[in-house]
Amino acid sequence: MKKQKNIFNWQADRSKYPEKKKNGKLDIDMSSGKFVKLWQGPNHPGITGNMSLELTISGDEVVEAKTHVGYLHRGFEKLMERRLWIQCFPTCVRMCVAEPDYNEYLLAKSAEELSGIEIPEMAEWLRTLVLEMARLQSLLRTVPGQAGTLSLGVGVQWGVYLRDLVLDLFEELTGGRVYHMYIIPGGVRGLLPDGFKKRMEEVLKKIDEFVKNIENLMFNNIVFKKRTIGVGYIKPSWIDKYGIVGPNARAAGFKRDVRKDYPYLKYNELDFEVTSEKDSDIFARSMVRKKELIMTIDLIRQIMAKMPKKGDIKAPTPNVLHWKIPKGETYVRSESSRGEYGFYTVSDGSKTPRRINLRGPSYTHAISLLERMLVNANIADVHSIMVSLQTCPPEIER
Amino acid sequence: MAIKDILTPFTAWKKVFNEPVTIKDPFNDRPGAERYRGFHKNELQTCIGCGSCEEICENEAIDLVAVKGYETKNGDSGLRPMVDYGRCCWCALCVDVCTTGSLTLSNEYTWVAENPDEFRFVPGAENKAWDKNELGWKKPVPNYEFYGQKRVKMEELSPEERDHSFIEIIKGYSKEQAQLEADRCVECGICIATCPANMGIPEYIKAIREDDMEHGLKILYETNPLPEICGRICTHKCETVCSVGHRGEPLSIRWLKRYIADQVESAEYKRILGTDGIENNGKTVAIIGSGPAGLSAAHYLSLMGYKVTIYEQYAKAGGMMRYGIPEYRLPYDQIDKDINYILSLGVNIKYNTKIGKDISLAELRDKYDAVFAGTGLHLGRSTRIPGTDHEHVYQAIDLLNKITEGKEIHVAEKIVVIGGGNVAMDITRSLARLQNQKYGKVQIIATALESEENLPADVEEVIEAREEKAIINPGWGPQYIEIENGKIKGLHVNKCLSIFDEEGRFNPKFDENNKNFFEADMIVESIGQGMDIAYITEDIKSELEFGPRGRIVVDENFQSGAKWLFVGGDIIQGPDVIHGIANGHKAAYGIDNFLKNK
Amino acid sequence: MENIIKDIQNRFEVSDIVNQRDNITFVTCEKEKTIALITHMKKNLGFKHFVLMTAVDWIEDGLFQLTYILNNPKKKLDVAIRTFISRENATMETAHKLWKQVSTYQRELKEMFGIDFPGSPRVNESFILEGWNDIPPYRRDFQTKEYAEKTYFPRPGRKTNDPSEYMKKNMS
């Protein structure tokens, strides 16, 4: 690997192994005694869900990494092929625990687009709100979670508390804390409860305070900086090569955001700038996520101010018990807190989907990219790097 | 790298004195939110066990089970949902789809039990702690529906377009309208048991959704060989129990049936129904009367290979359907369509042949292997008040008969009709049309003992009669007809206070101080019809058993005491078309059984 | 978008063009030309971002549909390329050289649909289903419910009633 400039903790390849064979391939011979296999996971507390890394190490350096998934496979895509369209709606949420709402939205949007249904304005606003709340609760776990990988657990506890307050709001609005099952094909399942705005503002104020505290705790912390700046570097040229999206791409200077580039719901009526950083290391990615957190708070405030007070929440749909969606296919995407999250949906004109395929950001991040990034990394940095990609294993294997 | 980076993280220490945010007693301090999706509640009194919750449950967590204290009855299966919480995912789709709104979720989310089987129970039947919780998920309102609540409006002729003639009022659904209406069906099947003929309603509605008219027609003919007729004038008891009707308008089941029959050309029937070349089994059955019961029996007997002969007293087939129901409700060509198909199966029909006059019942008994009598109610009943013997006092049924035959009838300028049933409406509206044709205006009053809300006629009949400018003035009891110089002056009535006494017997009470007089020069009585079974001679009668009001007693196969004689239709059950059809169908199987075992 | 579609229409004879939205178009390409088309789109037309690839089983036609969705981040356009391959001995040319993550997709397709991509790295390694010996489970002829009933155990004592059957029984 080439030496990187201006990144002060970077150390080039430290070990002399593995040597290169004549044909250019690495000579990793496990019987040589120079290498050790180290399994990390599948039960790792740093990520939401189970995934394991098969590391080949030499000294404290990783020379080869392989991602193993399959601990969470429930075959949701297949299960949805055997269910009515409406029945897919409680199924799809489980494809990503961290932010189930994107699944709901994308399924609903696909069904609506393929059957030509327009949803009421009020429902669009409520969907936008729920998707931003989902991002908020996800980031409240991820931003301090990065420090958590370096044993700085205080921020994680603050974050988890605040996340629970957001979940309280979800509970009020949707009736569920984690799986909200709120965005239904055709609309949403309820208006804002009385006094919701006030309670939302109270929580947002606490999160404002949290952002200040986390600034002091993490981002102005010598240990955190030492362990993250220059570590887990993603070359800008890798962005398209590996299919990197979301904050991971934005931290490398790519101002790509589905909300801005392909506006959906009410995002073109909201005022926001796509966040970005240049350094493309763990610290930069953390910074991007912190900025996103601030932006999300702002977006929620904007949504609450702009949202109409009343309105229909659901468009009339055919009887859900025998709703047939016309033959066709589509791809719809949204920006989850991890990046482009999309559903490729095929209908054959019957009561059940022909195929629903989820394009989750972790699919590319945690496998091909992570396997590449871990080469030459110090084993102590492995989980930091993994968490900095904000991996969500359930969306890899669905 | 600055000294700041070493010091600032320590600012976190200032939080060490903060109050903990933990909830101290989560079992009591933290109830679920107003919309929380916790354990199910079900108002078992309201629930009808339609099974829509089971249908929509993506996890198959719901079973329908019998619950003590809830009997199967019209419009209620008597079943109630049992939830398996080992499978439930608390999505509340079952609540949102619930046809009656009985099912909700409570906000209770903590419950511990040692036996896993306790987590499978019938909500509402087991006195759970949360059954009284006010909070919890309910179906959002308004305009949040999983299926259409409003009927697709049936287009009909406006009163001005229809009140001069006898052309059909109802236009029938277009394909688009029919499919939209069919889409509202939740396929629960609650209606099937209430339909006297047990028609496969959800399945033929499904055929409309899938635009498969041939399959639809097959389903119709499984239980009902007169779909064009029933699709127009059935009393649609099914619609009164339709589960969709609990929160919205019930499905227009009758119009959907008509839609299927209307779509298929009569020339196609035999091919679709596969009734070409039925093998004759060499046995013969005589049927008396070509009303719905007789035709239905003839149809199913023919399919089974019997050689059927119908004896009809009039010149055309159809019985009350043709001679009782006016053409604007049931056009004659539609009657012919259904009947001609049945006749095409090899049914022989002898018109203008009255049993007891042209041929005796005993002769039929000797000539045929079995006899089915569906002779209906053709004798008009009279109020027998003073003045009813006047020549311009008529029986509705006689007038309707004559109108069908195209005979001229007496139409006076001012008419009073006594009666509040569908036949009364039929004659009122028919006479209103004739008045319009003759005088250019309508002056007809229909009066009945029953009050407005208890009128036995279908609501739409009353509404439409009023639209056609007939006056419906219910709640009066006729006392006598005033006649002056041999001419009718009108009808004297007293306010009716009650119709039945404490024991439920017919015994009307009138208010002597509240009188009224309806001017008229012609009066029509339409208070019901009786049967004429004079054709059953004494020797045969002696074999039969008679129940209350002189009804012949039959077993569940409509077999009478004289084993060769089967009886059905209005003289047994009803009166209406669909009971007749159902009777005829069952009697056909009864006859088949009887002859096979003979 | 129009120009792009015209360009690939001329060069690769794509058919069945469906403009699903303003910024996404679905096209069908012959199996042999597909990888060339994708390469062309990446190299010359700016479709640098590989969104996804997956398969759809059209068992009734005996075909697998492979769908590649490509994105042009500059112009903010998507083109989805469908190609149909036979379900019998399903094989497709590998595209792993174009994007790094493609090999993962191909590995999954091999496992879940049984579509082979000769030359794709680690394509034969199991991806999700270690020790699977049934037919590839995402094929339409794999019956999930049957499998679940065979593999797991249903709760004993459960039985349900159909309302109309139950009513017929109790009311006649």
A159: domain CATH number is 1.10.645.10
Topology alike, domains B166-271 and B283-378+531-596: no
Residue A72 placed within a domain: no
Q: What is the pLDDT of residue A6?
A: 46
Query: Is B553 touching C (CB cutoff 8 A)?
Result: no
**CB pairs below 8 Å between B and C: how many?**
63
- Mean pLDDT, residues B93-112 taken together: 91
CB A144 within 8 A of CB A218: yes
Residue B64: its chain C contacts at CB < 8 A? Answer: 160-163, 166
The DSSP symbol for B423 reads H
Residue A82: its chain C contacts at CB < 8 A? Answer: 144-145
Q: pLDDT tens digit string along C88-110?
A: 888 999 988 889 889 999 999 99
Look at B192 and C171 and tell me if their CB atoms are within 8 Å. Answer: no
Query: Which ipTM score applies to this complex?
Result: 0.91
From the number of C-beta atoms within 10 Å of its C-beta (0-12, 13-18, 19+), residue B105 rates as buried
- Please report where in the chains the tokens 């009891």 appear, as a residue: B477
Residue A390 placed within a domain: no
CB B350 within 8 A of CB B312: yes
Q: pLDDT tens digit string along B293-331?
A: 999 999 999 999 999 999 999 999 998 899 989 999 999
- Mean pLDDT, residues B381-409 taken together: 90
Taking a contact as any Cβ pair under 8 Å apart, which residues of chain A between 71 and 110 contact chain B? 83-84, 86-91
**CB pairs below 8 Å between A and B: how many?**
117
> Using 50, 70 and 90 to split pLDDT, how confident is the model at A62?
confident
Q: pLDDT tens digit string along A165-204?
A: 999 999 999 999 889 999 999 999 989 999 999 999 999 9
Domain boundaries, chain B: 26-121, 166-271, 283-378+531-596, 379-529
Residue A271 placed within a domain: yes
Domain extent, residue A195, equals: 86-323
Confidence check: pLDDT of B597 > 90: no
Query: Is B209 touching A (CB cutoff 8 A)?
Result: yes
Ranges assigned E (strand) in B27-110: 40-42, 62-66, 79-84, 103-105
Choose the closest CB to C155 out of B50, B86, B192: B86
Look at A174 and B148 and tell me if their CB atoms are within 8 Å. Answer: no
- Mean pLDDT, residues A104-116 taken together: 93
Q: What is the pLDDT of residue A3?
A: 43
Q: What is the pLDDT of residue B434?
A: 93
Question: Is B379-529 in CATH node 3.40.50.2300?
Answer: no
Confidence check: pLDDT of B485 > 70: yes
CB A325 within 8 A of CB A185: no
Look at B147 and A313 and tell me if their CB atoms are within 8 Å. Answer: no
Confidence check: pLDDT of B258 > 70: yes
Query: Is C139 touching A (CB cutoff 8 A)?
Result: no
Q: How far is C171 from chain B (nearest CA, A)?
A: 7
Q: Which of C74, C78, C96, C104 to probe the A interface (max A CBs under 10 A)?
A: C104
Residue B72: its chain C contacts at CB < 8 A? Answer: 166-167, 170-171
Choose the closest CB to A346 out of C56, C76, C144: C56
Q: What is the pLDDT of residue A1?
A: 39
Question: Is B283-378+531-596 in CATH node 3.10.105.10?
Answer: no
Collapsing DSSP to helix, strand or coil, A145 comes out as helix
Q: What is the pLDDT of residue B1?
A: 59
**Greatest pairwise CA separation for chain A in angstroms:** 72
Chains in touch with A (3+ beta-carbon pairs under 8 Å) read B, C
Q: Which of A83, A87, A359 to probe the C interface (max C CBs under 10 A)?
A: A359
d(CA A355, CA C55): 9
Confidence check: pLDDT of B4 > 90: no
Residue A177 placed within a domain: yes
Pick the CATH number of B26-121 from 3.30.450.30, 3.30.70.260, 3.40.1350.10, 3.30.70.3270: 3.30.70.3270
Q: What is the pLDDT of residue A12?
A: 57
Look at C144 and A78 and tell me if their CB atoms are within 8 Å. Answer: yes
d(CA B262, CA A24): 79
Query: Is C18 touching A (CB cutoff 8 A)?
Result: yes
Collapsing DSSP to helix, strand or coil, B234 comes out as coil
Q: What is the pLDDT of residue A207?
A: 93
Q: pLDDT tens digit string along B337-347?
A: 999 999 999 89
- Please report where in the chains the tokens 């991806």 appear, as a residue: C127
Q: pLDDT tens digit string along B147-159?
A: 988 999 888 888 8
> Using 50, 70 and 90 to split pLDDT, how confident is the model at A5?
very low
d(CA B465, CA B467): 5
Confidence check: pLDDT of A46 > 60: no
> Using 50, 70 and 90 to split pLDDT, how confident is the model at A4?
very low
Q: What is the pLDDT of residue A28?
A: 76
Token pair listed for A143: 């931003």
Average pLDDT of chain B to the nearest whole number = 90
- In chain A, the number of structural domains is 1
> Using 50, 70 and 90 to split pLDDT, how confident is the model at B292?
very high
Chains in touch with C (3+ beta-carbon pairs under 8 Å) read A, B
The larger pLDDT score, comparing residue B263 to residue B26, is at B263
Q: pLDDT tens digit string along A194-253?
A: 999 999 999 999 999 999 989 888 888 888 888 888 888 888 998 988 989 999 999 999
* Domains contained in chain C, CATH given: 2-155 (3.30.460.80)
Taking a contact as any Cβ pair under 8 Å apart, which residues of chain A between 247 and 286 contact chain C? 254, 256, 261-262
- Mean pLDDT, residues B464-475 taken together: 92
Ranges assigned E (strand) in B351-486: 370-373, 379-380, 393-395, 415-418, 444-447, 471-472, 476-484
The DSSP secondary structure of B63-111, one letter per residue, reads EEEE-TT---BTTB-SEEEEEETTT-----HHHHH-SSS-EEE-S----
d(CA B21, CA C91): 58
Average pLDDT of chain C to the nearest whole number = 89
Look at A176 and B52 and tell me if their CB atoms are within 8 Å. Answer: no
Residue C21: its chain A contacts at CB < 8 A? Answer: 113, 330
CATH of the domain spanning B166-271: 1.10.1060.10
Confidence check: pLDDT of B379 > 80: yes
Token pair listed for C157: 């004592």
Average pLDDT of chain A to the nearest whole number = 87
> Using 50, 70 and 90 to split pLDDT, how confident is the model at A45?
low
Q: pLDDT tens digit string along B189-208?
A: 999 988 888 899 999 999 99
